[in-house]
Amino acid sequence: MDVIKVSSPARIINVCSGSYAAVKKIRLDDYNFDKRKYSWFKAYSETKLYNVMFTLDLATRLKNSNVTVNTFTPGFTLTNLGQSLRSMRLITKLRSRKAASPSDAAKIAIYFATSQEMEGVSGKYFMKMDMKETTEIAQDKKLQKELWNLSEKLTKVI
Protein backbone atom coordinates (compact mmCIF):
# COMPACT_ATOMS: atom_id res chain seq x y z
CA MET A 1 0.00 0.00 0.00
CA ASP A 2 2.89 2.35 0.73
CA VAL A 3 4.21 1.85 -2.81
CA ILE A 4 0.78 2.61 -4.27
CA LYS A 5 0.47 5.76 -2.19
CA VAL A 6 3.88 7.13 -3.18
CA SER A 7 3.13 6.26 -6.80
CA SER A 8 -0.01 8.38 -6.76
CA PRO A 9 -2.06 9.38 -8.45
CA ALA A 10 -3.00 5.72 -8.54
CA ARG A 11 -6.12 3.68 -9.18
CA ILE A 12 -7.25 0.34 -7.84
CA ILE A 13 -9.92 -1.42 -9.89
CA ASN A 14 -11.64 -4.53 -8.54
CA VAL A 15 -13.72 -6.77 -10.76
CA CYS A 16 -16.87 -8.26 -9.30
CA SER A 17 -20.20 -9.63 -10.43
CA GLY A 18 -23.74 -8.36 -10.23
CA SER A 19 -24.55 -11.64 -8.49
CA TYR A 20 -23.29 -9.98 -5.28
CA ALA A 21 -26.73 -8.38 -5.01
CA ALA A 22 -28.35 -11.80 -4.50
CA VAL A 23 -26.82 -11.98 -1.01
CA LYS A 24 -29.24 -10.82 1.67
CA LYS A 25 -27.26 -12.02 4.69
CA ILE A 26 -23.61 -12.90 5.08
CA ARG A 27 -22.00 -15.33 7.44
CA LEU A 28 -18.50 -14.09 8.10
CA ASP A 29 -18.37 -16.74 10.83
CA ASP A 30 -18.86 -19.39 8.11
CA TYR A 31 -17.08 -18.03 5.02
CA ASN A 32 -15.99 -21.59 4.07
CA PHE A 33 -19.49 -23.09 4.37
CA ASP A 34 -18.40 -25.46 7.14
CA LYS A 35 -21.61 -24.90 9.13
CA ARG A 36 -24.13 -24.73 6.28
CA LYS A 37 -24.94 -26.54 3.09
CA TYR A 38 -22.58 -25.55 0.28
CA SER A 39 -24.01 -23.87 -2.78
CA TRP A 40 -21.66 -22.79 -5.57
CA PHE A 41 -23.89 -19.82 -6.40
CA LYS A 42 -24.11 -18.64 -2.77
CA ALA A 43 -20.35 -19.03 -2.37
CA TYR A 44 -19.64 -17.16 -5.60
CA SER A 45 -22.15 -14.40 -4.80
CA GLU A 46 -20.77 -13.95 -1.28
CA THR A 47 -17.22 -13.60 -2.57
CA LYS A 48 -18.39 -10.97 -5.03
CA LEU A 49 -20.13 -9.13 -2.19
CA TYR A 50 -16.86 -9.25 -0.27
CA ASN A 51 -15.15 -7.66 -3.31
CA VAL A 52 -17.66 -4.79 -3.24
CA MET A 53 -17.44 -4.35 0.54
CA PHE A 54 -13.64 -4.43 0.44
CA THR A 55 -13.63 -1.80 -2.32
CA LEU A 56 -15.93 0.54 -0.41
CA ASP A 57 -13.96 0.14 2.82
CA LEU A 58 -10.60 0.60 1.11
CA ALA A 59 -11.87 3.74 -0.62
CA THR A 60 -12.80 5.15 2.79
CA ARG A 61 -9.39 4.21 4.21
CA LEU A 62 -7.65 5.95 1.29
CA LYS A 63 -9.95 8.98 1.26
CA ASN A 64 -7.22 11.53 1.99
CA SER A 65 -4.71 10.05 -0.41
CA ASN A 66 -4.47 10.43 -4.15
CA VAL A 67 -5.45 6.78 -4.66
CA THR A 68 -8.91 5.90 -5.94
CA VAL A 69 -10.64 2.54 -5.52
CA ASN A 70 -13.62 1.36 -7.56
CA THR A 71 -15.28 -1.88 -8.55
CA PHE A 72 -17.20 -2.94 -11.61
CA THR A 73 -18.96 -5.85 -13.16
CA PRO A 74 -18.48 -6.30 -16.90
CA GLY A 75 -21.80 -8.15 -17.08
CA PHE A 76 -22.07 -11.72 -18.30
CA THR A 77 -18.75 -12.48 -19.94
CA LEU A 78 -17.99 -15.54 -22.04
CA THR A 79 -15.24 -17.22 -20.03
CA ASN A 80 -14.52 -20.77 -18.94
CA LEU A 81 -15.52 -19.97 -15.36
CA GLY A 82 -17.78 -22.67 -14.01
CA GLN A 83 -17.73 -24.77 -17.16
CA SER A 84 -17.35 -27.90 -15.05
CA LEU A 85 -20.85 -27.23 -13.71
CA ARG A 86 -23.71 -28.43 -15.91
CA SER A 87 -25.90 -25.48 -14.87
CA MET A 88 -23.20 -22.97 -15.90
CA ARG A 89 -22.72 -24.67 -19.28
CA LEU A 90 -26.46 -24.32 -19.88
CA ILE A 91 -26.50 -20.66 -18.79
CA THR A 92 -23.50 -19.94 -21.02
CA LYS A 93 -25.18 -21.61 -23.98
CA LEU A 94 -28.41 -19.66 -23.45
CA ARG A 95 -26.69 -16.30 -22.89
CA SER A 96 -23.70 -16.61 -25.22
CA ARG A 97 -25.20 -14.36 -27.92
CA LYS A 98 -25.48 -11.47 -25.45
CA ALA A 99 -22.31 -12.20 -23.52
CA ALA A 100 -19.32 -9.90 -23.63
CA SER A 101 -16.01 -11.24 -24.80
CA PRO A 102 -13.12 -11.24 -22.34
CA SER A 103 -11.46 -8.48 -24.37
CA ASP A 104 -14.62 -6.33 -24.16
CA ALA A 105 -14.63 -6.79 -20.38
CA ALA A 106 -10.93 -5.90 -20.25
CA LYS A 107 -11.58 -2.69 -22.19
CA ILE A 108 -13.94 -1.57 -19.43
CA ALA A 109 -11.26 -2.18 -16.79
CA ILE A 110 -8.72 -0.28 -18.88
CA TYR A 111 -11.14 2.64 -19.18
CA PHE A 112 -11.56 2.81 -15.40
CA ALA A 113 -7.81 2.58 -14.90
CA THR A 114 -6.81 5.22 -17.44
CA SER A 115 -9.60 7.62 -18.40
CA GLN A 116 -9.53 11.26 -17.37
CA GLU A 117 -13.26 11.05 -16.61
CA MET A 118 -12.49 8.65 -13.74
CA GLU A 119 -9.91 10.94 -12.15
CA GLY A 120 -10.83 11.47 -8.50
CA VAL A 121 -13.80 9.06 -8.62
CA SER A 122 -13.56 6.64 -5.71
CA GLY A 123 -15.69 4.24 -3.71
CA LYS A 124 -18.09 3.56 -6.55
CA TYR A 125 -19.67 0.49 -8.11
CA PHE A 126 -20.26 0.28 -11.84
CA MET A 127 -22.27 -2.11 -13.92
CA LYS A 128 -20.40 -2.06 -17.19
CA MET A 129 -19.93 1.71 -17.62
CA ASP A 130 -22.88 2.87 -15.51
CA MET A 131 -22.47 3.95 -11.90
CA LYS A 132 -24.96 2.13 -9.67
CA GLU A 133 -25.91 2.18 -6.00
CA THR A 134 -24.78 -0.85 -4.07
CA THR A 135 -27.02 -2.90 -1.83
CA GLU A 136 -27.53 -1.95 1.80
CA ILE A 137 -25.55 -4.92 3.02
CA ALA A 138 -22.56 -3.88 0.87
CA GLN A 139 -22.70 -0.38 2.40
CA ASP A 140 -22.83 -1.63 5.98
CA LYS A 141 -19.76 -0.01 7.59
CA LYS A 142 -19.78 -2.42 10.54
CA LEU A 143 -19.76 -5.45 8.22
CA GLN A 144 -17.03 -3.85 6.09
CA LYS A 145 -14.87 -3.46 9.19
CA GLU A 146 -15.58 -7.07 10.26
CA LEU A 147 -14.60 -8.29 6.79
CA TRP A 148 -11.42 -6.22 6.89
CA ASN A 149 -10.49 -7.61 10.31
CA LEU A 150 -11.21 -11.17 9.19
CA SER A 151 -9.09 -10.64 6.06
CA GLU A 152 -6.20 -9.39 8.18
CA LYS A 153 -6.54 -12.37 10.49
CA LEU A 154 -6.65 -14.87 7.61
CA THR A 155 -3.70 -13.29 5.83
CA LYS A 156 -1.86 -12.78 9.12
CA VAL A 157 -1.48 -9.04 8.48
CA ILE A 158 -1.47 -7.04 11.67
- Residue 90 class from Cβ within 10 Å (0-12 exposed, 13-18 middle, 19+ buried)? exposed
- Sequence-distant (6+) residues with CB within 8 A of 14 are 51, 52, 54, 55, 69, 70, 71, 72
Catalytic-role residue among 31, 44, 111, 125:
44
Is 31 one of the annotated active-site residues of the chain? no
Angle, helix 141-155 to helix 40-61, in steps of 10 degrees: 100
Kindly list the catalytic residues.
44
